[in-house]
Chains A and B, each alone.
Chain A
Amino acid sequence: MSKLRVATTSLAGCFGCHMSFLDIDERLLDLLELVEFDRSPITDIKHCGPCDLGIIEGGVCNAENVHVLREFRKNCKILVAIGACAVNGGLPAQRNHLELHDILTAVYQTEGGLAHGVHIPNDPELPLPLNKVHPIHEVVKVDYFLPGCPPSGDAIWKFLTDLIAGRTPHLGHGLLHYD
Chain B
Amino acid sequence: MRMSQCSMGSIMNVNEVITATLARHGNDGTRLMQILRETQEALGWLAPETLTAIAEGVGWPRAKVEGTAAFYSFFHLRPRGRYCVLWSDNITDRMLGNRELMQALCEKLWLEPGRLSEDGLVSVNTTSCTGMCDQGPAVLVNYRAITRMDMARVEQMAELIRSETPLDQWPAEWFKVEDNIRRKDALLDHGLVPGQALAAGMARGPQGLIDEIKASGLRGRGGAGFSTGMKWAFCREAKGEAHYVVCNADEGEPGTFKDRVLLTSYADLVFEGMTLAGYAIGAQKGLMYLRGEYRYMQDALESVLARRRSERLLGARILDKDFDFDIEIHFGAGAYVCGEESALIESLEGKPGRPRIRPPFPVTNGYLDQPTAVNNVETLAAACLVAHHGGAWYAQLGTEKSAGTKLLSVSGDVERPGIYEYPFGVTVQQVLDDAGARGCVQGVQISGPSGVTLSADELGRRICFEDIPTAGAFMVFDCTRDMFEVARNFAHFFAHESCGFCTPCRVGTQVVARLMDKLATNHGSPYDIDEMFKMHRLMQGASHCGLGNSACNPLFDTLNKFRPAYERRLKSLDYEPAFDLDAALSEARQMTGRDDAGAHLQNVE
Contact = CB atoms under 8 A, between A and B. Distances in A.
Nearest to B592: A122
B581 A120 contact: no
18 contacts: A66-B581, A100-B587, A100-B588, A101-B590, A104-B588, A104-B591, A122-B593, A124-B598, A124-B599, A128-B599, A130-B581, A131-B587, A132-B584, A138-B578, A138-B579, A139-B577, A140-B575, A141-B574
A70 interface: yes
A129 interface: yes
Nearest to B584: A130
Interface string B571-587: 00011011101001111
B174 interface: no
Contacts of A127: 598
Nearest to B605: A70
Nearest to A108: B591
Contacts of A140: 575, 577
Contacts of A22: none
Nearest to B604: A70
Nearest to A64: B598
A138 B598 CA distance: 21
Given A70-B605, A132-B584, A120 B527 contact: no
Contacts of A138: 577-579
Given A70-B605, A140-B575, A141-B575, A124 B585 contact: no
Q: Which 8 A-B pairs have the closest CB atoms?
A: A141-B575, A122-B592, A128-B588, A100-B587, A130-B584, A124-B596, A131-B584, A104-B591
Interface in A69-104: 70, 74, 99-101, 104
Nearest to B581: A66
B589 interface: yes
Contact of B585 (A120, A130, A134): A130
A117 interface: no
Given A104-B588, A141-B527, A128 B594 contact: yes
B70 interface: no
Contacts of A105: 591
A176 interface: no
A23 B13 CA distance: 72
Contacts of A122: 592-594
Interface residues of A, number: 25
A32 interface: no
Which of A104, A128, A132: most chain B CB closer than 10 A? A128
Interface in A133-161: 134, 138-141
A66 B592 CA distance: 19
Contacts of B588: 100, 104, 128-131
B593 A128 contact: no
Contacts of B593: 122
Q: Which applies to chain A's interface (DSSP): helix, strand, loop or mixed?
A: mixed
A62 to B, nearest CB: 8
A98 to B, nearest CB: 11
Interface string B521-554: 0000001000000000000000000000000000
B507 interface: no
A121 B492 CA distance: 41
A134 B577 CA distance: 10
Contacts, number: 60
Contacts of A104: 588, 591
B575 A63 contact: no
B601 interface: yes
Nearest to B596: A124
A114 to B, nearest CB: 15
Contact of B581 (A121, A139, A141): A139
A74 B587 CA distance: 28
A124 B594 contact: yes
B518 to A, nearest CB: 11
B453 to A, nearest CB: 30
A128 B598 CA distance: 8
A73 B572 CA distance: 15
A134 B584 CA distance: 11
Contacts of B587: 99-101, 131
Contacts of A63: 585, 598-599, 601
Given A104-B591, A131-B586, 13 more contacts: A63-B601, A70-B605, A101-B591, A124-B594, A128-B585, A128-B594, A128-B599, A131-B585, A138-B577, A138-B579, A139-B577, A141-B527, A141-B575
Contacts of A120: 591-592
A109 to B, nearest CB: 10
Nearest to A130: B584
Contacts of B579: 138
A130 B589 CA distance: 10
A29 B577 CA distance: 38
Contacts of A66: 581, 601
B33 to A, nearest CB: 35
A138 B577 CA distance: 6
A125 B591 CA distance: 16
Nearest to B589: A128
Which of A63, A70, A140: most chain B CB closer than 10 A? A63
Contacts of B594: 122, 124, 128
A132 B577 CA distance: 13
A6 B18 CA distance: 71
A74 B574 CA distance: 11
A132 B575 CA distance: 20
Nearest to B597: A124
A42 to B, nearest CB: 26
A66 to B, nearest CB: 6
Interface in A41-79: 63, 66, 70, 74
A138 to B, nearest CB: 6
Contacts of B590: 101
Interface in B150-209: none
A175 B578 CA distance: 32
Contacts of B596: 124
Given A70-B605, A99-B587, A100-B587, A128 B574 contact: no
B291 to A, nearest CB: 37
B594 to A, nearest CB: 5
Nearest to A122: B592
A49 B21 CA distance: 75
A134 to B, nearest CB: 8
Contacts of B599: 63, 124, 128
A92 to B, nearest CB: 14
Which of A121, A124, A127: most chain B CB closer than 10 A? A124
Interface in B361-389: none
Interface in B493-527: 527
Nearest to B586: A131
A147 to B, nearest CB: 20
A172 B152 CA distance: 68
A132 B590 CA distance: 15
Nearest to A104: B591
